[in-house]
Chain A
Amino acid sequence: MNFPILSAIIFIPLIGAFFIFVTKGEQKNVERNSKYVAIFTSLSNFFLSILLWYFFDNSTSDFQFIEEKKWMSGFINFQLGIDGISMLFILLTTFIAPLCIFSGIHSIKFKIKEFLIAILVMETLMLGVFCSLNLVIFYLFFEGGLIPMFLIIGIWGGPKRVYSAFKFFLFTLLGSVLMLVAIISIYWITGTTDVIRLLDGRIPQEFQYLLWLAFFSSFAVKLPMWPVHTWLPDAHVEAPTAGSVILAAILLKMAGYGFIRFSLGLFPVASDYFTPLIFVLSIIAIIYTSLVALMQDDMKKLIAYSSVAHMGFVTIGIFSLTKQGLEGSIIQMMSHGLISAALFLCVGVVYDRYHSRMISSYGGLVNIMPKYALVFMIFTLAALGLPGTSGFVGEFLVLVGALQKNILVAVLASFGVILVAAYMLWLYRRVIFGKITNPEIKEITDLNKTEIYIFASLVFLILFFGVYPKPLFNTIDISISNLINNYQADLSFHLVKINN
């Protein structure tokens, strides 16, 4: 196939954004037209990515749909290509983007045109991250994502939005500067920034440690890992619903993707060396943030902290370097993408109606919003990893993988599972069950049609992949095997060199 499908998928949202940008006329018409354009582009992009999945060949671990354009010759070429791992992230992104647009259309009250542009630009940048096969291109997309997110929080956010946006920017920029330095040094050392060549060739061992740390500092902030996680709760709290959804569902996953693709792929020796560090930080993240989540009185903050805990499972899985652990962590990222998106949308539903994120403002919602109570229940259960939901498959495999590496890690991480149950059920109980104590919320209406469709699609996917996750496994299976084989080969290659 010669059609540049990856470029198409990446740039269709940008083209949509451009069309919205140039619409002019009466305020009302502009808003209506931009809504239609945004919905149309994001949905068509979703279908295009499904098409991509259909044509995707999951019997090979080579990169597919490769595109290459000369840019600054030798140094930066515009290279795109995907393997099984990127495939799933692309699907997740193109699926979540329309949801954000639907939710934004409902809840954003001013500058809607600009908002839609920001979301579409964001989508382009995120897709670029998962498709790029050149370190510099990757970096541009990876850090470019900061800007629209910064704007989304800073313009459409809550009362403390400036502080949150600043914190978000400061944390993430700090890490990424180091990554830029590392990318430049990789070019100096190897003479290329082409990911395929870098994955084949071997970066000398003595450089790996520092380079790994530089990449780590960027990914650890984005993921986020303890102790650089504190920007996340603030950013979530102040961001509008759509912003939170993108942040939790996709932005965090870019770091997980980065760990798998670059940290493991490029620096196997350093990855092996630093695995204990990752395990310790992840375990702290799981237990520490679960305990903190237990005490939150702000719904969004609680879910944000639970995201940190869930991403802790992801890093454990990735660095367990076992088939189950790695596949589990990818499934966990997919399912967390769906579940956290769903939970933030759930908070958005009541926030749109009553404008409070405080748990204590609610209580007894089941009396007036039975449909809402049902979907919220399903998402709560998925978040606590009930078997039959996608959350279980990922978490369980991660732990199976972790135990093969280190029993203590698996035991401590499993302990987190108890805490998750406690804080999620407690949240649910305080918001949904009980009698209505706050007379003002009696007027709240149940889910409307659009919301039902959005939630139904999420529920369907979460349950479907919980019972039949095979399509996901088929897509990533060979790529993961290949990754592990390469990793082991590299490791033994370097070890042999040391012994000689």
Chain B
Amino acid sequence: MEYAIIFLPLISSFISGFFGKKLGDKYCQIFACLLVLISGILSLFIFYEVLTQDYSSNKLIFNWISSGDFHVNWSIVVDPLTSVMLVVVSLISSIIHFYSIGYMSHDPHKTRFMAYLSLFTFAMLTLVTADNFLQLFFGWEGVGLCSYLLIGFWYKKPSANSAAIKAFVVNRVGDFGFAIGIFLIFFFYGTVNYHEVFQQTPLFIQKQVIFLGIEVNLITLICLLLFLGAMGKSAQIFLHTWLPDAMEGPTPVSALIHAATMVTAGVFLVVKCSPLFEYSQIALNVVATVGMMTAFFAATVALVQNDIKKIVAYSTCSQLGYMFFAAGVGAYHVAIFHLFTHAFFKALLFLGSGCVIHSFDDEQDIRSMGGVWKKIPYTYTLMVIGTLALTGFPFLSGYYSKDAIIEFAYLKGSNIGYYAAAVGIFTALLTAIYSWRLVFKTFHGKYNNKKNSLNSIHESSSTMLIPSCLLAVGAIVTGILFKEIFIGQDTQFWNNSILFLYQNHHDHVPIWLLVITPLIVILAIPIAYYLFVKNEKILKNLILKHQTLYNFLINKWYFDDLYNFIFVEPIKKIGLFFWKEGDVNIIDRYGPDGLSKLVKTVSDKAVNFQSGYLYHYAFVMLIGFSILLTYLILY
């Protein structure tokens, strides 16, 4: 069964990639959807078995690399944590395969798209089912590759190509840390197998190593390096710049890769490595701090963006920040719970945005929308459900997971926990504002589009709406259904897949904390409605008054310009310098060219000796003779 889950998507990718033309678009799409759907249903089975019978398995496929004592296997491991990820990945992937049939209906390259999507699913599944760090890295880079291919799917657009390269290279920066982390693990533990590494970890608690001249604790060092990888993949602050640009890809891609699955791989990594992180308070604090900063930063930027997909992208960034600070305060299971619910409502929001973009005939700027909620009621409903779930409106999925994060952070009792809770609450307010801004600007107010007439706005096809409805159901019910299982007081679900060194108590939550977030979230709705629909003047005045702040936000805190200035331009200049000055002007000039010139000059000079005049030769002979004579006399 495990084999089927993993390899069906690969087969699907293979068939659509190589036989897509022969099969024809339609059969190819149906085939791909079916295979991935089977994989999704099988993962539900596995999840059910894990839930009811504590099922777990470890299947060895074959040996991958074996050099000296370095042994790595291809294998499939199922434990509770993996089973949750299997469900998220394969289920949402199959929904999005269906959605793509509708979304890509006007595109000439449907089979290629299906091939990439299925390949992505395969890579993501190998990532979550690995039993060692190297296979994880294989999946890690594999999803990165698919993300690269899908962001650049519309290869005629230069911006899409740049975004694709940026995504890959920024991720490589993270992977650089990740890889060094793996090297260190092998160097000290002599293995890269999870189980063996985690078992040995308590032995290394006191171990100090010298890394680049600095003495640090080994476990802290490894955790921080692994976390660098996680930051790249999960678009955390400093390495987040690729995610908004990645929105150049088709919307189903944004939903699957850049919201529900791939970007959460970083969170998965941290949770999976909880047996390492638990032993390093410093690393956990870094995780929590980075998470907080990202959550806050991304939310502020999302407030002022005008591209519908970019708003949702920054929102993803921000929600990933929530997951990280949950992990950072030791509430790994809550992080995974939020990952789980987030996958549904964020994918829903993206698919909804995709429907909106379709309805407006490829318009993405929310300033050119508005006033169409009656024209496209289904899309509108979907977006509202998604927004309610995202903002944490009571009893929808986001409410359970996000509030739990804030509560756990608060109950941690440490300074960092209080900060995290405070930032969490404030960010929840920002989240509510930018989310409702999106909804109101898109669907309410005046109709602002100049390209299309109001009458041409149309509802999307049912192949797009039905999958979105499935996600909407998920966004509504996953919170209530799985709350007890995932984060309940005495849940035994996680078994050994997550290590909690310190028990998280979740009983005495102060009432004010329980009430404050939902209250803020509900109050935010009328406020947002007033600001963005009823009385837009207030905002305009505010922007005029605080022009610098506004510019700061709309330019995304100037991260892109800064990186361009510090890294991209200097690297180009250095490259040119090494080439023109180093290679051409120094090495070649004094190397081969210099040598040949030297030979030529010397021989030119030497030619002068053969003048042909007898008295020249006689003179030289005389000098030579006298030198020889002098030498003999003196010595």
A interface residues (Cβ-Cβ under 8 A, vs B):
166-167, 170-171, 227-228, 230-231, 233, 288, 291-296, 322-324, 327-328, 364, 366-367, 381, 386-388, 392-393, 396-397, 399-400, 403-404, 407-408, 410-411, 414-415, 417-418, 421-422, 425-426, 429, 432-435, 467-470, 473, 477
- Interfacial residues of chain B within 115-163, with CB under 8 A of chain A in the complex: 134, 137-138, 140-142, 145, 148, 152, 155-156, 158, 161
Which of A170, A386, A408 contacts B595 (CB under 8 A)?
A: A170
Are A434 and B156 in contact, with the CB atoms below 8 A?
yes
Bound Cα distance A403, B68 (Å)? 15
* Chain B residues with CB below 8 A from A477, complex form: 67
Question: Which 5 A-B pairs give the minimum distances between C-beta atoms?
Answer: A323-B68, A291-B575, A387-B138, A295-B575, A433-B155
- Interchain CB contact under 8 A, A386 and B571: no
Bound Cα distance from A4 to B594, whole angstroms: 48
Query: In terms of DSSP, what is the predominant structure of the interface of chain B?
Result: helix
Determine whether B587 belongs to the interface, using a CB cutoff of 8 Å to chain A. Answer: yes
- Nearest Cβ distance between residue A194 and chain B, in whole angstroms? 30
Q: Is B607 an interface residue (CB 8 A)?
A: no
Of the candidates B155, B180, B588, B595, the one whose C-beta lies within 8 Å of that of A434 is B155
Is B77 interfacial (CB-CB < 8 Å)?
Answer: no
Within 8 A of A (CB), among B564-599: 571-572, 574-576, 578-579, 582-583, 587-588, 591-592, 595-596
Given contacts A230-B583, A386-B141, 12 further A-B contacts (CB under 8 A): A167-B592, A231-B592, A295-B572, A324-B68, A366-B155, A386-B142, A396-B65, A403-B186, A403-B187, A422-B172, A433-B156, A469-B65
B587 and A410 contacting across the interface, CB-CB below 8 Å: no
User: Are the C-beta atoms of A399 and B179 separated by less than 8 Å?
Assistant: yes
A410 CA / B181 CA spacing, docked (Å): 11
A426 touches B187 (CB 8 A): no
B587 A227 Cβ-Cβ under 8 A: yes
A399 with B576: CB separation less than 8 A:
no
B161 and A429 contacting across the interface, CB-CB below 8 Å: yes
B176: chain A residues at CB < 8 Å are 414-415, 417-418
Query: Would you call A407 and B179 a contact (CB within 8 A)?
Result: no
Q: How far is the CA of A291 from the CA of B175 in the complex (A)?
A: 19
Residues in A with CB closer than 8 Å to B180 are 403, 410-411, 414
The reply to whether B184 and A403 form a contact with Cβ atoms under 8 Å apart is yes
Residue of A nearest to B588 (CB): A230
The answer to whether A292 touches B70 (Cβ under 8 A) is no
Kindly supply a per-residue 1/0 record for chain B positions 54-72, scoring 1 wherever the CB is within 8 Å of any chain A CB and 0 otherwise. Answer: 0000000011111111100
Contact for A170 among B65, B69, B165, B596, CB less than 8 A: B596
Query: Which single residue of chain A is at the shortest CB-CB distance from B586?
Result: A227
In whole angstroms, what is the CA distance A321 to B32 when docked? 48
In the complex, A167→B62 CA distance in Å?
Answer: 48
Can you show 27 pairs from A to B with CB atoms below 8 A apart?
Answer: A167-B592, A170-B595, A171-B591, A230-B591, A233-B583, A294-B575, A322-B68, A324-B67, A327-B68, A367-B156, A386-B145, A387-B140, A387-B141, A388-B138, A392-B141, A396-B134, A399-B179, A400-B186, A403-B180, A403-B183, A407-B212, A411-B180, A421-B168, A422-B165, A422-B169, A425-B169, A429-B164
* Distance from B455 Cβ to chain A, minimum over Cβ atoms (Å): 34
Q: A167-B592, A292-B579, A415-B176 are in contact. Are A468 and B64 (CB under 8 A)?
A: yes
Task: Tell me, rounded to whole Å, the shortest Cβ–Cβ distance linking A362 to chain B.
Answer: 13
The complex places the Cα of A408 from the Cα of B213 at a distance, in Å, of 9
B582 partner residues in chain A, CB cutoff 8 A: 227, 288, 292
Task: Give B contacts to A, CB under 8 Å.
Answer: 62-70, 74, 134, 137-138, 140-142, 145, 148, 152, 155-156, 158, 161, 164-165, 168-169, 172-173, 175-176, 179-180, 183-184, 186-187, 211-212, 571-572, 574-576, 578-579, 582-583, 587-588, 591-592, 595-596
Considering the complex, give the chain B residue whose CB is closest to the CB of A412. Answer: B212
Distance to closest chain A CB from B110 (angstroms): 14
Beyond A167-B592, A404-B187, whether A411 also contacts B212 by CB under 8 A is yes
**How far, in angstroms, from A425 to B183 measured CA to CA in the complex?**
25
Query: Nearest chain A CB to B115's CB is how many angstroms away?
Result: 11
Nearest chain B residue, comparing its CB with the CB of A305: B579
B575 and A292 contacting across the interface, CB-CB below 8 Å: yes
Are A417 and B578 within 8 A (Cβ)? Answer: no
Partner of A291, one of B74, B187, B574: B574
Nearest-CB distance from A195 to chain B (Å)? 25
Contact B211 A407 (CB under 8 A): yes
Which residues on the B side are within 8 Å of A366 (C-beta)? Answer: 155
The answer to whether residues A171 and B169 also contact, given A230-B583, A434-B155 and a CB cut-off of 8 A, is no
* Closest chain B residue to A234, Cβ basis: B588
Residues of A within 8 A of B62 (CB): 468
A421 touching B67 in the complex, CB below 8 Å, given contacts A230-B588, A387-B138: no
Q: How far, in whole Å, are A295 and B583 apart by their CA atoms in the complex?
A: 13
Question: Which residues on A sit within 8 Å (CB–CB) of B165?
Answer: 422, 425-426, 429
* Contact call A397/B65, Cβ cutoff below 8 A: yes
Contact for A433 among B68, B161, B578, B587, CB less than 8 A: B161
- Chain B residue numbers with a CB within 8 Å of A364 are 156
Asked if residues A327 and B67 are in contact (CB atoms below 8 Å), the reply is: yes
Q: Which B residues are in CB contact (< 8 Å) with A292? A: 575, 578-579, 582-583
Tell me which residues across on chain A come within 8 A of B175, comparing CB atoms: 417
Cβ of A137 to closest chain B Cβ, rounded Å: 29
- Given the complex of chains A and B, what is the CA–CA distance between A322 and B183 in angstroms? 14
Question: Which residues of A have CB within 8 Å of B595?
Answer: 170
- Cα of A19 to Cα of B148 in the assembled complex, Å: 51
B161 touches A434 (CB 8 A): yes
In the assembled complex, which residues on chain B have CB atoms less than 8 Å from the CB atom of A433? 152, 155-156, 161
In the complex, chain A residues whose CB is within 8 Å of the CB of B168 = 421, 425
Contact B64 A324 (CB under 8 A): no
Residues of A within 8 A of B64 (CB): 467-469
The reply to whether A473 and B578 form a contact with Cβ atoms under 8 Å apart is no
CA distance A181 to B541 in the complex (A): 84
Min C-beta distance of A187 to chain B, whole Å: 29
In the complex, what's the smallest C-beta–C-beta distance from A400 to chain B, in angstroms?
A: 5
